[in-house]
Structure formats: structure tokens, C-alpha cells
Amino acid sequence: VTAFAATRTDALARLDAFLPHAGRTYAARRNHDLGPGDRGNVSALSPAIRRRLTTEREIADAVLAAHGWAAAEKFLTELCWRTYFKGWLELRPEIWRRYERDVEALSLRLLEEPDLLDRYRAATAGRTDIDCFDAWVGELETHGWLHNHARMWFASIWIFTLRLPWQLGADFFYARLLDACPASNTLSWRWVAGLHSVGKTYLVRADNIRAFTGGRFRVDARLAAEAPPLPPDPPVAPTALPAADTIPDGRIGLWLTSEDLHPESLPLPPIAALAAVDRIGGAPAPAKAAHVATALADGVARAESLTGHTATRLPEPDLETAIADWIADHRLDAVVTPYAPVGPVADRIASLRATGLPIRTLRRDWDSRAWPHATKGFFAFRPHIPQLLGLGLETPTR
């Protein structure tokens, strides 16, 4: 069974092991869900990339060096789906806020509608009598991870066969996935529901599941035969990406969060003090909480050797006072923290800044260059990928 990397050392070992398969083999085999015992046909790096124990840049460089663009185009394009989704949501934070409001309202509705609550409980307990779906619930609970194809099938069954609100499915995933990402998760669920590519839904068919799961499932329950698009929600126009913060002179403290744990590749100024917060936001399942804690501890340990400072652990409940005290204790002029994309950590940073704390964010060049192109669908983003990868004038093969 795949152990998902929660440290940089494990992530690099995983990348190393996967590298020979990242070329044409990946393109041919990636859609097969071979089960929790065999993840050799995909990288299984998402929990590590999500928290930037390793970066997109680093992975792309290694894969390009091993295979070149022509053989690795599929893998590199998939890698850039994460970048695209992050950029798309970054330009439309209202979609995330709307999702959060919807989850809250639907959680109350569950209490008022016994029929809806029963169906929700059966689905989330893996008691639907759809053998594959029930197995994926178990896999998610046990491993905190599902293959991409299984995530698509799961969401399609949730929305169109079980007729449950997509937001509750996304929330169920978000609490459990080790790689839970506001952008990739919310926007993928919206994509299946026909809200991302408006009107274009994803309908799963039983023979497709059978074909790509090596006969593990019978799928003899009736799956929905059609997937009518949900009523479109009000469109949100993309905003311009704000300019990245400039870092002032003076004594600067580094505050690490679980959003970006590779300080070694950030353009850091000289650092006078180091801090970290254990966890921000949400109510993660225990396995996810443990994963995030291990990843953070790993990032903090590397930041300690990079900067030569021992990290101060700031308590979450009264973060504002704790940061203010830390700034005063170390006579800091400003605090830098890696840019947090749309989500609970970004919200927390924004509210701390709003109190006047001198916090500046460090945005990676990869994000600053890519995100402004996420204004429309992926097909409009895709032509920018070779340039993002530094391939100069080389053009995609298709």
C-alpha cells in the first residue's frame, strides 16, 4: 500500500521512483485505478505537491530532464491542472466563499430534511449498495487518498445517482483527502456538476469503471443514465491578480504555514526569527490532521537549519496576540510568509493583516507567471504551459 509522502525526503524518494514512468507509460496507463496496493502508474505525489514539500518547478524540471517534452507532455499537462485550478480560484475568490456559505447552509438543511440526512448518512458511511462507491468511501477513510478517475466516478455517482448536493460531497472529500486543496477539489466537483465548463457534466458508466479497475467491482447497481446540468450559479468575472508584495528592509521574521513547506526555494531576505502555527481552519479527519502536522514539522525543521533559528510555535486560538508578541520579542520590522492561495490560511493571513500587523507574502514566480492566464477554461491556459516550463519557442505537439 502506498505511503503518501509527508516529508520532503519521502517526496523526493517517491519522485525518484516514479520518474522512469512519467513519460509515455504514464500517458498510456494513468487512467487505470489499480487499487490501494498499486499506485505505480501515477505519481501519488499530490499530498506532497499540495503543501509544496516538493514544487511543481522541481518536478517539471526532473521530468523534462528524464523524458523531454514530447514524451512527458501528458504528465506535465496534468501537473499544470493544479496550477490552472489554483489560478482560476485565485482570480475568483468569491467562488470559494460561496462554496463555504453553501456547505454551512446545507449542513443545517440536513438537520431539517430527514430523507436528505438518511441518504447523506448512507453515502458517507459507504452503505449505498453500489460496491465501488462503498469501497471508495472505505479507501478515503483509511488512506486519505483516491485515484483521479475514482474521484471523478465518486463525484458523478454522488451528484447524479445519489442526488446529493455536490458541495456536501466536496466537503466530505476536503476533510479527508491528504491533498485536500480548495482549488482542485472545489473546481473538480464543480466540473463534474457542469458548473465549471458550464452545462458540460461528467456522467460515469458502469462499464467504464469495470474496465479501468481491473475487474475489482461488479457495479451491478443502477447508475444514473443521464447527468442533466445543475442550474448554473451566477458567473463571477475574473479579477486581476494583485501585484506581489515587496519585502521591506529591516529585521524580518519568517512565518511558515502548511501551505508552502519548501522555504529553501523561496526568495527569502535575511531572516531574524522563525515561527510556525500548528494548524489553521477546518475540522480534518485524524489521518489528514496527522499528515499535515508531520509535513509542517518537516518544513519547520528544514527552515530551522536554513535560517539558524529555532521556531517559535504560535498557538492558533489567539494568533493575533501571539504574532504581535513574537514581533515585539524579536524587534521585527516585518513578517514574511509564503503566499497562501485562496482558502482558510489565506483568509487568516488577510484578517491578521487587516489588524495592521506588518505581514507580507512571498509569491513564487511559477504562480505569478501562470495564474494570470487562468481567466477561462483549461484549453485557453494550456498553450502557456511550454513557456511556463521554460521551453522557449518549442510548441506543444498537439
Ligand X SMILES: Cc1cc2nc3c(=O)[nH]c(=O)nc-3n(C[C@H](O)[C@H](O)[C@H](O)COP(=O)(O)OP(=O)(O)OC[C@H]3O[C@@H](n4cnc5c(N)ncnc54)[C@H](O)[C@@H]3O)c2cc1C
Candidate ranges 99-107, 128-136, 173-181, 301-309; the one touching ligand X (CB under 6 A) = 173-181
Q: How far apart are CA 335 and CA 255, in angstroms?
A: 7
DSSP 8-state class, residue 254: E
Give the shortest CB-47-to-ligand X separation in angstroms. 8
Rounded-to-integer distance, Cα 46 and Cα 263, Å: 19
**Cβ of residue 397: shortest distance to ligand X, in angstroms?**
19
Q: How far is the CB of 1 from ligand X (least distance, A)?
A: 14
CA angle 74, 362, 173 (to 5 degrees): 50
Q: In terms of CB distance, is 62 or 335 closer to ligand X? A: 62
Distance, in Å, from the CA atom of 361 to the CA atom of 352, rounded to the nearest integer, reads 12
DSSP conformation letters of 99-143: HHHHHHHHHHHHHH-HHHHHHHHHHHTT-SS-HHHHHHHHHHHHH
Residue 105: Cβ within 10 Å count: 11
Q: Which stretch binds ligand X (CB under 6 A): 187-195, 238-246, 281-289, 346-354?
A: 187-195
Number of residues that bind ligand X (CB under 6 A): 28
144, 177 Cβ separation under 8 angstroms? yes
Q: CA 252, CA 193: separation in Å to the nearest integer?
A: 45
Of 330 and 369, the one with the shorter C-beta distance to ligand X is 369
Nearer to ligand X, 39 or 254 (CB): 39
Q: Per-residue x/- mask for ligand X, residues 24 to 53, rule CB under 6 A?
A: ------x-----------xxxxx--xx---
Residue 54 vs 337, nearer CB to ligand X: 54
Quickly list H helices, the chain.
8-18, 24-29, 46-50, 56-90, 93-112, 114-124, 131-143, 148-156, 166-176, 182-193, 206-212, 286-307, 319-329, 344-354, 365-370, 378-381, 385-388
Cβ proximity to ligand X: between 177 and 241 the closer is 177
Q: Which of residues 191-250 bind ligand X (CB under 6 A)?
A: 192
Q: What residues from 116 to 155 belong to the interface with ligand X (CB under 6 A)?
A: 147-148, 151-152, 155
CB of 353 to ligand X, least distance (A): 26
Residues 59-98 that bind ligand X (CB under 6 A): 78-79, 81-82, 85
Query: Quick one: 42 or 349, whose CB is closer to ligand X?
Result: 42
Least spacing, CB of residue 57 vs ligand X, in Å: 13
Q: How far is CA 78 from the centre of its chain?
A: 13
Q: C-alpha angle with apex 209: 11 to 379, nearest 5 degrees?
A: 65
> Cα–chain-centroid distance for residue 377?
18
CB 285 within 8 A of CB 367: no
**Amino acid identity at 100:** E
What is the nearest approach in angstroms of ligand X to the Cβ of residue 314? 26
Contact 62, 19 (CB under 8 A): yes
CB closer to ligand X, 155 vs 256:
155
Q: Cβ 232 to ligand X, closest distance in Å?
A: 19
Q: Does 370 bind ligand X (CB under 6 A)?
A: no
Residues that bind ligand X in the complex, under the rule CB under 6 A: 30, 42-46, 49-50, 78-79, 81-82, 85, 147-148, 151-152, 155, 173, 177, 179-181, 184-185, 188-189, 192
